């Protein structure tokens, strides 16, 4: 059974849960945080993360998810806002969408409150321009942020003094406008209208303002491009004029997450990405061999299941008379009969992770592919045992790891799982991806079988991933293909084979120990 506390402290798994919760995609890897309107991308994650870093990462996902869910990008796109108008809109819209998301997800609201207090209260440092417009925008930003956190009030008061010094008398008109914004902002269109109103106030006091438009260029002609701008992404106004305007939450979080990924080494987490693939079918001769072998393995596994489902006797007031317990009638105990109850049936998700790196070319890949098909076929008829097969390698335009789902959970076993091996062996990112998938399988028990012919590219990162897998309650087993290097990763719970005929004994032994519970895994 998965342990929730450990999952929630592990960023790759937490990010996956949030993505599922918000119905968005969250990717992890590289050195930059950004959003394209459909996917939230987080840089490779530090392993030695503290609570603040976990909260900032979650805050970034929550913040961008709020925009994806609630900002009307078509309305925003048509508004053709200038840079100043857009920045004012962004301040208001950030607060609006975060408030909406927080109403649906109380934990999200709690995290927003922490991030606001941290970024705009405790840890806020004076930065940016000394221009009067900066002081006004800073005051607007801190006022809006103070609506959710009293810890921002000290910085807001200081910002107000700077603004009044630069523009005496503006505070009364701004405060009245901001009060109205707080009470009457329901939609993206409202936020745009209020941004235009704030701009008109600013222009009364500082008439000459830059009017560059944030309307899409030839490379920014979609709501997704506008979403990149609203989050402070590439080509956004905050990047072009960093010192002109105070930074909003999305920009600050993006910069902090991106900064920690610089100089990335093996002490970072990266999660594999799905890539499309069209595998070949396993040759007919091999399939016939697998079928003969699987038949025997299936019979042995079915026998194992039958032995597990044998009834366990217990005392009862009805059933078969137990003469050995007749003495109980003297004390008035009516439980002199025996009834039987079935033991818990199998309720297991079995995920097979296949190494498709270049070193598997030839016989190793043939053996590994046949083994995957044999295991999946043998388990396919067992009620309560759900099987999936995924291949992985590091061979896609320099990405750390690509995964290829060959047989998805619940899908009938088929023969089109024969891949051409290539690239490296980035096992750690593949493990994180599989762990994410196993989080959402309905089965209580989660098992992972790794088939590989050598050591992974990054041994320390792989050990870290395996440690977390064990910590959250996954059972991980290794099957070495013509090689026993997997024993260095899983010294107790791994075996190796050099021929397909060895598979039934090896696999059955590991499965028996896992299901019966004779293993201390």
pLDDT of residue 312: 55
**What is the CATH architecture of 348-516?**
3-Layer(aba) Sandwich (3.40)
Distances (CA, A) of 377 to 139, 288, 345, 362, 416: 65, 12, 20, 23, 13
Q: Report the distance separating Cα 71 and Cα 188, nearest Å.
A: 6
Q: 173, 183, 175, 177: which is closest to 157 by C-alpha? A: 175
- Residues contacting residue 286 through CB under 8 Å, at least 6 positions apart: 366, 370
Q: What pLDDT band is residue 51 in, cutting at 50, 70 and 90?
A: confident
Q: Are strands 311-316 and 494-497 parallel, antiparallel or unpaired?
A: unpaired
Q: Report the distance separating Cα 252 and Cα 128, nearest Å.
A: 13
pLDDT of residue 14: 86
pLDDT of residue 327: 75
Side-chain half-sphere exposure of 318, counting CA atoms within 13 A = 0
Distances (CA, A) of 327 to 140, 314, 322: 85, 17, 10
Mean pLDDT of 28-33: 86
Q: 55, 119, 120, 65: which is closest to 97 by C-alpha? A: 65
3-state secondary structure of 29: coil
- Separation of CA 191 from chain center: 31
CB 205 within 8 A of CB 133: no
pTM for the whole structure: 0.79
With a cut of 90, say whether residue 413 has pLDDT above it.
yes
pLDDT of residue 308: 52
**Token reading at 195:** 């941004």
**Token reading at 268:** 């970072």
- The backbone torsions φ and ψ at residue 363, rounded to the nearest 5 degrees and listed phi first, read -60, -45
Side-chain half-sphere exposure of 213, counting CA atoms within 13 A = 10
As beta bridge partners, residue 497 has 481
Q: What pLDDT band is residue 343 in, cutting at 50, 70 and 90?
A: low
CB 172 within 8 A of CB 201: no
* pLDDT higher at 16 or 344: 16
With a cut of 70, say whether residue 100 has pLDDT above it.
yes
With a cut of 50, say whether residue 234 has pLDDT above it.
no
Average confidence score pLDDT of the chain: 84
What is the signed CA dihedral for 47, 52, 58, 63, rounded to 10 degrees? Answer: -140
Q: What pLDDT band is residue 351 in, cutting at 50, 70 and 90?
A: very high
Q: Could you tell me the residue ranges of all domains in the chain?
A: 4-269, 312-343, 348-516
With a cut of 90, say whether residue 241 has pLDDT above it.
no
Mean pLDDT of 319-348: 73
pLDDT of residue 419: 93
The count of residues in the chain is: 521
3-state secondary structure of 213: strand
Mean pLDDT of 129-158: 92
pLDDT of residue 514: 65
First to last CA, the chain: 13
With a cut of 80, say whether residue 315 has pLDDT above it.
no
**Token reading at 75:** 């309305």
What does the DSSP 8-state code read for residue 406?
E
The pLDDT tens digits for 444-501 are: 889 999 999 989 988 988 999 999 999 988 999 999 999 999 999 999 889 999 999 9
The pLDDT tens digits for 263-312 are: 555 457 789 999 999 999 999 999 998 888 877 787 777 666 655 554 55
E strands, 160-269, in order: 268-269
Q: 167, 172, 173, 159: which is closest to 206 by C-alpha? A: 167
What does the DSSP 8-state code read for residue 342?
E
pLDDT of residue 519: 38
pLDDT of residue 239: 39
Q: What pLDDT band is residue 218 in, cutting at 50, 70 and 90?
A: very low
């Amino acid at each position: 059974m998965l342990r929730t506390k450990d999952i929630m402290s592990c960023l790759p798994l937490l990010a996956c849960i949030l993505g599922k919760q918000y119905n968005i995609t969250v990717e992890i890897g590289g050195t930059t945080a950004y959003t394209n309107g459909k996917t939230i991308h987080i840089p490779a994650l530090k392993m030695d993360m503290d609570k603040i870093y976990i909260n900032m990462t979650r805050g970034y996902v929550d913040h961008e998810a709020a925009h994806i869910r609630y900002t009307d990008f078509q309305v925003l796109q048509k508004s053709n806002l200038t840079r100043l108008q857009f920045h004012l809109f962004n301040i208001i819209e950030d607060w609006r969408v975060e408030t909406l998301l927080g109403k649906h997800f109380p934990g999200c609201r709690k995290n927003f409150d922490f991030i606001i207090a941290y970024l705009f209260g405790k840890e806020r440092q004076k930065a940016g321009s000394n221009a009067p417009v900066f002081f006004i925008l800073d005051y607007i930003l801190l006022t809006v942020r103070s609506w959710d956190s009293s810890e921002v009030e000290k910085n807001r008061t200081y910002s107000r003094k700077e603004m009044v010094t630069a523009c005496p008398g503006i505070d009364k008109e701004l405060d009245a406008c901001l009060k109205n914004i707080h009470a009457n902002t329901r939609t993206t269109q409202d936020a745009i209208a209020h941004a235009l109103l704030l701009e008109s106030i600013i222009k009364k006091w500082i008439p000459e303002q830059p009017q560059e438009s944030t309307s899409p260029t030839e490379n920014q002609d979609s709501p997704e491009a506008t979403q990149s701008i609203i989050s402070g992404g590439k080509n956004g106004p905050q990047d072009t004029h960093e010192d002109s305007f105070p930074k909003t939450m999305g920009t600050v979080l993006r910069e902090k997450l991106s900064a920690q990924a610089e100089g990335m080494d093996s002490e970072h987490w990266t999660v594999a990405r799905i890539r499309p693939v069209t595998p070949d079918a396993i040759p007919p001769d091999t399939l016939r061999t697998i079928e003969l072998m699987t038949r025997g393995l299936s019979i042995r596994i079915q026998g194992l299941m039958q032995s597990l489902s044998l009834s366990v006797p217990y005392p009862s007031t009805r059933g078969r008379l137990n003469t050995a317990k007749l003495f109980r009638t003297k004390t008035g105990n009516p439980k002199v009969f025996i009834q039987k109850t079935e033991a818990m049936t199998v309720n297991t998700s079995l995920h097979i992770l296949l190494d498709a790196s270049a070193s598997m070319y030839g016989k190793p890949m043939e053996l590994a592919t046949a083994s995957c098909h044999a295991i999946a076929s043998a388990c396919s008829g067992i009620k309560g045992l759900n099987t999936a097969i995924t291949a992985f390698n590091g061979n896609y335009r320099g990405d750390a790891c690509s995964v290829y789902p060959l047989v998805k959970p619940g899908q009938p076993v088929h023969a089109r799982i024969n891949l051409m091996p290539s690239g490296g062996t980035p096992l750690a990112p593949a493990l994180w991806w599989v762990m994410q998938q196993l989080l959402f399988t309905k089965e209580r028990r989660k098992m992972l079988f790794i088939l590989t012919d050598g050591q992974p590219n990054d041994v320390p990162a792989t050990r870290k991933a395996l440690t977390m897998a064990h910590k959250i309650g996954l059972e991980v087993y290794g099957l070495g293909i013509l090689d026993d290097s997997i024993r260095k990763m899983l010294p107790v719970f791994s075996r190796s084979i050099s021929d397909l005929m060895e598979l039934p004994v090896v696999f059955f032994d590991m499965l028996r120990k896992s299901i019966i519970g004779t293993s201390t895994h």
